[in-house]
Structure 1
Amino acid sequence: MAQRKLIVDCDPGVDDVLALLLALNTPSCSVALVSLCFGNIGVATSVRNVVATFQVLESERQYRSLHKLPLLPYHLHNSADDSSTWPTVALGSTFPVSARRTVGAEFFHGADGLGGVHESAPQFSPSETCILPFYDPKTLSADQAITREQVIRDAKGYIPTCRPSWREILRILREEPENTVTIVAIAPLSNLARAALEDPPTFSRVKEVVCMGGNVSVPGNMTPFAEFNFYADVDAAAIVLATTSRNPGSTLPPSAIAAATCFRGPGEDDDAKYGPVKLYLFPLDITTRHRLRKQWFVKCCAGWLDKTPGIANSRHPGESPLATWMTVWLGGAFRRMEDLVLFEGGSRHAAADQADGVGGAYIEVHDPLTMYFAIASEKERAELFNVSENMDLRMETTGQWSWGMCVLDRRGIAKRDSHEPRPARDDAGWLDVTKGNRVNLVVEGPGSHAFGMKLLERVLGDLEGL
């Protein structure tokens, strides 16, 4: 069976890297592109985290081969010497599509996005010159251009490009059969919005967009009303949500309308050959209910950090590079979350402890949960997730205090077909069946423990029985 193609659009902080490792270690999927966006950290900084991820995976391959330990699925399906299976990595948006506000999340993820791992564990970190292949050589000095070529030759596991990532998204959607590529969007939606605005028919060739963002019935994590990814680029979020509509212009933000004159749905243009995009949304309502507990991670890592590999008379301590590296930056994330618990007060976290059946440090696994849905089979989706389909979810893009808020019509009034009477005062088209967005809202998942253990087993492998 052919592997499903994934495009991963991310801003590699802690949970983004976990999500990327999950995707890379899923045998049924192939990551075609890692598209980088501003968000948790700047794009230039995030490059180093992605390159480090591939370097650590290569070190893990060598470690497991030397000690005759089972290789990860990533190693089995991505040859160290065959670049035809490697994903492309591309830099994307460094600022929002409207450039009206910029934000960052260094307060949680650290200045480098991984809690200072490049300083505390430099043995796992690439040189800062790793970013040079992502720049047009015409913009570099002669010495930088020479170094750039050397970095490209030495790259293992990924293919760098200097093309903007939204153009790489469109290239892949053109080259692959229609309705076969899944985009996993776990960053601000700037790259997807730019791709959708630049070439709507090509963007509509996507099989589905699986997106982490927004909040519906719970408070935001940036403001009382807004979640980080949507808050970081509200216009991009509104544009991407509008791709789900039969009439995108009915929900486009005012600031984007002028730039979106070509962004027309099939109902608006007889010559249009494309239809609405299928989008699954993972808001905070579901992602904050899925946590990775420190004690689960420590238990899972214990074997990889302490077990002596199966070589006769070997005295090697058996420390997996991957487990060692993850322990550094996840350990920092667990500590920062403990500080946050003290700052916020205990009621929400006490409820989390009760739900999980255990206490102690944890992180919320927003992006890995979203990724798991994207890589799951149809059977797993049906068994583990509940989805509210075709919800008219819209973005607030102009409010002083409600910037980034997700809005649903809670009046309980059914939408009307064109031949049915509608209330006179419905200027925003909330009751018109031809208008509004059609978002598939994920409302239930597998739960913290079940998902946390699946995540760790997929990323690290299972040592039981060795």
Structure 2
Amino acid sequence: MRERIIIDTDPGQDDAVAILLALASPEIEVLGITCVAGNVPLALTTRNARMVCELAGRPDLRVVAGCDRPMRRPLVTAEHVHGKTGLDGADLPDPVMPLHPGHAVDFLIETLRTEPPGSVTLVPIGPLTNIGTALERAPDIAARIKRVVLMGGAYFEVGNITPAAEFNIFVDPEAAALVFGAGVPLVVVPLDVTHKALTTPPRIAAFRALGTPVGEAVAGWTDFFERFDMAKYGSEGAPLHDPCTIAWILRPDLFTGREINVEIETGGRFTSGMTVADWWRVTDRAANALFLGDVDADGFYALVTERLARL
């Protein structure tokens, strides 16, 4: 059976690659793409998601605009990483396909109430505002979600936007706390994993060697995206964060992790947005997430390249 998913996203170059990976994989059925403000404001994330769908030849997909700011605090964006458009690095035409009518929160609630219980996986790869708002407004949907596979948080790697916090969780920790506290099966892909899935010149060259518009766009995005991280971390490339969620759905054997308790810090003076991951199980708090810790990076990039070749 195909994995039926809704991608909740704030594209972002790595978000774009995650969407393309999902659309290139016959094991996955994308029911819709819900957009949230995060890497760039909502007007750009909705534009970018539609551009990616059209690049993939899927203008039929439902792309729905969601929350334009976090639940309880002002929006923080990341143009310093992703460029002013969020998809700097590839010159794509403006989208022609329209947005699906309505609001992403309503789309999430209605879809989860309509589809059979336990049949839909949510894949949030941006701030958790849309999903947190949906759970707050309609708590009954929690029992209907198959699982949530999210990119966010960290343990050993700690923070990339503050010393303690990863960007997606930091932008809306109140929404993240709702998601982590909802009793939904969670798979967390943190910085600890994504910082091991680095772009390298040969890996980017493999994207470009596909000789397709998709390959050229992904090579351009990763060329642009890696400059910031290489300067920041002194690494050989940039972590390709968000496609790791889709890769886990396709090939969980590429990853390792453990079931632990993860709490979200919402009020810390220096630690707001921190994922307090009990990796060593030093508390008696019950596990609420499969928290990944490692990835076969070569296997991951081989999978991404092979699938993108299909588009």
CA distance in 1, matches of 2:83, 2:244: 22
Q: Percent identity?
A: 30
Q: Where in structure 2 are there 5+ consecutive unaligned residues?
A: none
Corresponding residue of 2:309: 460
Q: Give the counterpart letter for 1:89 in structure 2.
A: V
Structure 2 residue 298 is matched with structure 1 residue 449: yes
For the structure 1 residues 330 and 406, does the alpha-carbon distance in structure 2 shift closer, same or farther, using more than 3 Å as the test? closer
TM-score using structure 1 length? 0.63
Q: Give the counterpart letter for 1:229 in structure 2.
A: N
Match for 2:191 among 284, 297, 304?
284
For the structure 1 residues 189 and 106, does the alpha-carbon distance in structure 2 shift closer, same or farther, using more than 3 Å as the test? same
Q: Give the counterpart letter for 1:24 in structure 2.
A: L
Q: Give the counterpart letter for 2:273 in structure 1.
A: G
Structure 2 residue 208 is matched with structure 1 residue 331: no
Structure 2 residue 79 is matched with structure 1 residue 106: yes
Contact 2:206-2:305 within 8 A present in 1 as well: no
Match for 2:270 among 378, 401, 411?
401
Q: Give the match's secondary structure for 2:122.
A: strand
| Structure with more helix by fraction | 1
Contact 1:241-1:437 within 8 A present in 2 as well: no
Contact 1:170-1:203 within 8 A present in 2 as well: no
- The residue correspondences of 1:343-362 to structure 2 (distance < 5 A) are 344=233, 346=234, 349=235, 360=236, 362=237
| Structure with more strand by fraction | 2
Structure 2 residue 268 is matched with structure 1 residue 438: no
Corresponding residue of 1:269: none
Offset at 1:235? 0.5
CA distance in 1, matches of 2:145, 2:180: 14
Contact 1:242-1:437 within 8 A present in 2 as well: no
CA offset digits 1:50-99 (Å, max 9, x no partner): 222122233xxxxxxxxxxxxxxxxxxx7x8xxxxx3311011111111x
Match for 1:216 among 155, 159, 162?
155
Structure 2 residue 185 is matched with structure 1 residue 185: no
Corresponding residue of 2:139: 200
Structure 2 residue 238 is matched with structure 1 residue 363: yes
CA distance in 2, matches of 1:457, 1:186: 22
Offset at 1:396? 1.0
Corresponding residue of 1:316: none
Match for 1:232 among 142, 148, 171?
171
Offset at 1:460? 2.3
Corresponding residue of 2:112: 173
4+ residue stretches of structure 1 with deviation over 2 A? 54-58, 299-303, 320-331, 334-338, 383-387, 408-415
CA offset digits 1:264-312 (Å, max 9, x no partner): xxxxxxxxxxxxx1111111111111112232221342251xxxxxxxx
Q: Give the match's secondary structure for 2:271.
A: coil
Contact 2:5-2:120 within 8 A present in 1 as well: yes
Structure 2 residue 1 is matched with structure 1 residue 94: no
For the structure 1 residues 369 and 412, does the alpha-carbon distance in structure 2 shift closer, same or farther, using more than 3 Å as the test? closer
Corresponding residue of 1:54: 53
Offset at 1:404? 1.1
Offset at 1:413? 5.4
For the structure 1 residues 410 and 162, does the alpha-carbon distance in structure 2 shift closer, same or farther, using more than 3 Å as the test? closer
CA distance in 2, matches of 1:392, 1:334: 32
CA distance in 1, matches of 2:65, 2:109: 14
Q: Give the counterpart letter for 2:307 in structure 1.
A: R
Corresponding residue of 2:93: 125
For the structure 1 residues 330 and 414, does the alpha-carbon distance in structure 2 shift closer, same or farther, using more than 3 Å as the test? closer
Corresponding residue of 1:148: none
For the structure 1 residues 456 and 413, does the alpha-carbon distance in structure 2 shift closer, same or farther, using more than 3 Å as the test? closer
Q: What's the RMSD between the two structures over aligned residues?
A: 2.2
Q: Give the match's secondary structure for 2:63.
A: strand
CA distance in 2, matches of 1:243, 1:12: 26
Contact 1:221-1:227 within 8 A present in 2 as well: yes
Aligned residues: 311
CA distance in 2, matches of 1:9, 1:27: 19
Contact 1:279-1:439 within 8 A present in 2 as well: yes
Q: Where in structure 1 are there 5+ consecutive unaligned residues?
A: 59-77, 81-85, 131-150, 245-276, 305-319, 350-359, 416-429, 431-435
Offset at 1:164? 1.0
CA distance in 1, matches of 2:115, 2:257: 27
TM-score using structure 2 length? 0.92
For the structure 1 residues 57 and 408, does the alpha-carbon distance in structure 2 shift closer, same or farther, using more than 3 Å as the test? closer
Contact 2:210-2:309 within 8 A present in 1 as well: no
CA distance in 2, matches of 1:332, 1:211: 24
Offset at 1:110? 0.4
CA offset digits 1:221-272 (Å, max 9, x no partner): 011111000100010111110012xxxxxxxxxxxxxxxxxxxxxxxxxxxx
Contact 2:207-2:219 within 8 A present in 1 as well: no
For the structure 1 residues 303 and 366, does the alpha-carbon distance in structure 2 shift closer, same or farther, using more than 3 Å as the test? closer
Question: Which of the pair has more CA radius of gyration?
Answer: 1
Contact 1:185-1:212 within 8 A present in 2 as well: yes
